Every structure is written in C-alpha cells, then in structure tokens.
Amino acid sequence: MSSAEPITFDQVPRRKLAETVAARILTAVRDQPAGTRLPTERQLTESLGVGRSTVREALNGLALIGVVEIRHGQGVFVAERTTALPTAFELGTVEARQLHEARGVIEIEVARLAAIRRTPEQLTALDALLDDHKADLQAGRPPVVQASRFHLLLAEAADNAVFASVLRPYFRLMFERGPALYETTPAYARWELEQHRGILDAVRDGDPDRAAALMRAHVDTMSEHYADVVTERTS
C-alpha cells in the first residue's frame, strides 16, 4: 500500500457532470504512484457531490485512456504509465509536432482497418458515443471524454491491440489539455462532432479509402487547431 498522502476532493457543481469529475480525479491522481487506490465510488459520490452514475462514467473514461485501472471486486487504482513520453510534454514543442505526425500515421491506418473489421456491436457503441457528444454540446459542456473515446473505440474496431495501446497515452495527454480547444476555438466542438460522424459513416459503409482520407484531413486540421491555441496562449 502506498504511503502517499490521502487523496481528497472538493465538491463539483452538478452542471459540470462527468467531464469535470474526470478532470478533477485526473488532477488529484496525476502525481500519485501507480497502484494507489482511489476512494470508493460511494466516497467519491459524497466528496464530489454528484451521483454514482456520474462518478462511474468519469472513472470508465479515465480507465479507457489509461489513467486508472478498474479491478472488479477490488477497487480503482492509479494505472502504470506505459508510455515513454515525458510528463512535461507541452503542445507546440518539437515533441508535440512529432507526436501529431505519429498520430496521423497510426490513426489513418486505424480508420482504414476499422472500415474493414468493425462489428455491428462496435458501430452501435460508436453511434451511442456520438449521441453523448451531441448531448454535451446541447448542454454547453466540453465533450473531452467523448472525443477521446471515439478515437480509442475506433482503434478497438480496427482489431489491433498494438494501435490501441500506442494511442491511449496520447489521449491521456490530450484529455489534460483538450479543454483549451473548446474554450478558445469558436464552434470547435461542433466541427469535431461533424468530423467524427463523417469518419464513422465511412467506417459503417465499409469504405476504407474514404475513412482513411477523412481521418487524414481530421488529424491535420486538429494539429493546426492545437498550434493556434498554443500561439494564442504564448503571444
């Protein structure tokens, strides 16, 4: 058992829901050693001032991007960092450029393979995720969790565990920094949803070339968005 200081939380306004809960948990556990056990769902519910379903959704989202590990019957624990990426990574640096380039290569092939290998169940899950994204838009919440999960679910649909494991650390970092795009770039979240719907349509249609082309354009434009945010914040 770790000797680190106990993890504590301030209550979260109800309007923030799962995204803010996930961000609050991420901030609290970022410097905790792997294997540190989080408070129980009941304790998180009480300390954060939200419902258990909201806490569960936040934890599931964090588990998907590799921040926590859910051990059924045991609890939730801080996950091992499986990436060699520096924790001081910042968008706009040389490392960021290289990371975006690598992501482009991988995600283009992920989209291509997903169009070939996706199952009906995976298409249903992706559709439901985009519905959640739309609901966040309508409620005025930044859909950071849904946006990250879309790309990871697509990697699962590609049926390649290596691609999924390579992308997961990237989206862990994007989850930490993603809100900046929604805060500084007008209509970014709606544009992102439309992009994801287009990619999913190509995947559903079993059109690997169109899925790959749409993903290439999506990743290139996202890289430009991130560069613009960094420029605004450093100028």
pLDDT greater than 90 at residue 20: no
- Of 11-20, 36-45, 131-140, which has the strongest mean pLDDT? 36-45
Contact 7, 38 (CB under 8 A): yes
User: Hey, which residues does 71 pair with through a beta bridge?
Assistant: 75
Q: Extract the tokens encoding 51.
A: 């419902």
Q: How far apart are CA 118 and CA 205, in angstroms?
A: 10
Query: At CA 189, angle to CA 64 and CA 231, rounded to 5?
Result: 95
pTM over 0.85: no
Asked if residue 114 and residue 146 are part of one domain, the reply reads yes
Residue 74 DSSP SS3: coil
Q: Average pLDDT of the chain?
A: 78
Q: In percent, how much of the chain has pLDDT > 70? A: 72
Q: How far apart are CA 158 and CA 122, in angstroms?
A: 10
Domain-embedded: residue 132: yes
Asked if residue 173 and residue 61 are part of one domain, the reply reads no
Domain-embedded: residue 1: no
Q: Domain end: 29, 44, 78, which one?
A: 78
User: Hey, which residues does 78 pair with through a beta bridge?
Assistant: 68
Domain-embedded: residue 87: no
Confidence of residue 37 (pLDDT cuts 50, 70, 90): very high
Alpha helices in 140-207 (DSSP H): 144-157, 161-177, 179-184, 188-204
Confidence of residue 5 (pLDDT cuts 50, 70, 90): low
Q: What residue numbers bound the domain in which 53 lies?
A: 14-78
Asked if residue 227 and residue 145 are part of one domain, the reply reads yes
**What is the enclosing helix (H) or strand (E) of 65?**
none
Asked if residue 123 and residue 36 are part of one domain, the reply reads no
pLDDT greater than 70 at residue 87: no
pLDDT greater than 50 at residue 94: no
Give the least confident one: 115-124, 178-187, 207-216. 178-187
Asked if residue 172 and residue 123 are part of one domain, the reply reads yes
